[in-house]
Chain A
Amino acid sequence: MGYSMTIADNLFENLRLELRRGCLTLAALAQLRQEHYGYTLRKALAEHGLEIDESTLYPLLRRLEAQGLLTSEWREEEKRNKRFYRLSSDGEQIFAELLEEWQAINTSINSILQ
């Protein structure tokens, strides 16, 4: 019983992470229509109910920047050097397409569930 519960829990956790992965990218891109540095971005997402681990979000920002979806610059704020990110022009375009895709999926799932 306990063993099968563990398998079920693991399976759920894996599927949940898989489901969240794409959504987190979309959420980060959406939030970065305004400029943020890592910590304020994390806080802003959490305020909207989307908690993301530091160890997930900060590397994600680096990857999105390497893919050309974000631009970044180091700037001093409150006597501390911080790296600020925002959507690049390519990022804006891809974000719009992703958003459209996500809304279509959402509509389809809602339709299936009805």
Chain B
Amino acid sequence: MDLLDRYLQAVKKHLPWKRQDDIIAELRANLEAQLEDKETGLGRPLSMGEAEDWLRQIGPPRQVAARYQPQQYLIGPVLFPSYLFVLRIVCFWTMIAYTIGSVALLATGTVSESRVLEAILRAPGFLLTVAAWVTLGFAVVEFAATRRPEKFPTLAGSLSNWTPSTLPPLEKEAIRGKKPRSFASAVAEVIFGFLFLVWLLLIPHYPFLLMGPGALYLPYSPFQFAPVWVPVFWWVVALNVTQLVWRCVDLIRGAWRQQRRAERIVISAFGLIPLGMLLAVPDHAYFTLKNVTDQARYGAALDSINLSIKWSALVICAITVLQLLWSIWRISLDCYRKRAAAM
């Protein structure tokens, strides 16, 4: 039957060459016997349509041939959990390195919209390249381990060699019944922290990012920023960089589930420095007049603005001190409880 020959020829093309003749001979014997049965039942040869229906029911040649192949994986189930773990860690490290590198470049060079945009747009491609290399590495190991299992005896045994005693202790939040911070939210915090930092660094060059349309009014405003804002701004930047680096280190250490009391204390304590700078400004002159001659016209408005900034700084300072004291008290309490439990 011409159609069956053509079908078997098509199947053969997708079979491994070492075994294809043997497989095709067997398949031919089986299919010819089946065809014979069908034709005996009908009392006549199959029509073209019937033969087509029969072969269609057996399946497309490529699919039939594929069934004779061993199950193929790019990365098999034994390696896959390790692959996912490594991929996650490597992508994360890459993102951190890229973020720190980009921020450093932006901070040292001229910050411009196009440079920031370029840095953001380059990130996905960079991550994909790294992910592709990790995948390729694991695919090579999988390929080698499948073909030479005797060379990779630890690979097969790696999943069965664990012992329950090596499991990490229960985390504090789990003991207290609190839901620990997830990896995704920890990563999101880092990403948003980075975006916030970029936004912060862009403000001096693009005031509209902070003031919106009001920035258009700035050149015509009779007021100007006092010099104290420059060190205050860089302190705020430094605080955000510290927080970002801290969170990155937590992620790298795998400590993102833990509470961030120490981080809160350090950030609150250092946060008091720019607030102190603001409060120490003589006569609370946060803004000054561009022209001293405008004193009579805008003096009252200027005093009012400066006074409101002074009070805002005072309130924020008070809240920060309270937060700081609260965090210190909680840590002291925990230490006391621990000591009491140990006694």
User: In the bound complex, how far is the Cα of B33 from the Cα of A43, in angstroms?
Assistant: 11
Nearest to A60 among chain B residues (CB) is B67
Residues of chain A within 8 A of B64, CB atoms compared: 54-55
Q: Which of A7-15, A18-26, A75-83, A91-99 forms part of the interface with chain B?
A: A75-83
B34 within 8 Å of A (CB atoms): yes
In the complex, chain B residues 59-96 whose Cβ is within 8 Å of any chain A Cβ: 59, 63-64, 67-68
User: In the bound complex, how far is the Cα of B29 from the Cα of A58, in angstroms?
Assistant: 11
User: In the bound complex, how far is the Cα of B68 from the Cα of A55, in angstroms?
Assistant: 9
B32 within 8 Å of A (CB atoms): yes
A59 within 8 Å of B (CB atoms): yes
B31 within 8 Å of A (CB atoms): yes
Q: Is the CB of A80 within 8 A of B58?
A: no
B27 within 8 Å of A (CB atoms): yes
How many residue-residue contacts, CB under 8 A, span A and B? 52
Q: Which of A38, A53, A54, A55 has the most CB of B within 10 A?
A: A55
Q: Is the CB of A54 within 8 A of B58?
A: yes
User: In the bound complex, how far is the Cα of B251 from the Cα of A102, in angstroms?
Assistant: 47
B23 within 8 Å of A (CB atoms): yes
Q: Is the CB of A59 within 8 A of B33?
A: no
- Which of B29, B59, B63 is close to A80, meaning CB atoms less than 8 Å apart? B29
Q: Is the CB of B29 within 8 A of A54?
A: no
Nearest to A82 among chain B residues (CB) is B29
Question: Least Cβ distance of B10 to chain A in Å?
Answer: 13
Q: Is the CB of A59 within 8 A of B68?
A: yes
Q: Is the CB of A58 within 8 A of B33?
A: no
Question: Least Cβ distance of A18 to chain B in Å?
Answer: 14
Chain B, residues 24-60, CB within 8 Å of chain A (1/0): the string is 0111011111100100000000000000000000110
Residues of chain A within 8 A of B34, CB atoms compared: 39, 42, 54
A residues apposed to B, CB below 8 Å: 37-40, 42-43, 53-56, 58-59, 62, 80-83
Interchain Cβ contacts under 8 Å between A and B, 5 examples: A38-B29, A40-B33, A54-B34, A54-B64, A82-B29
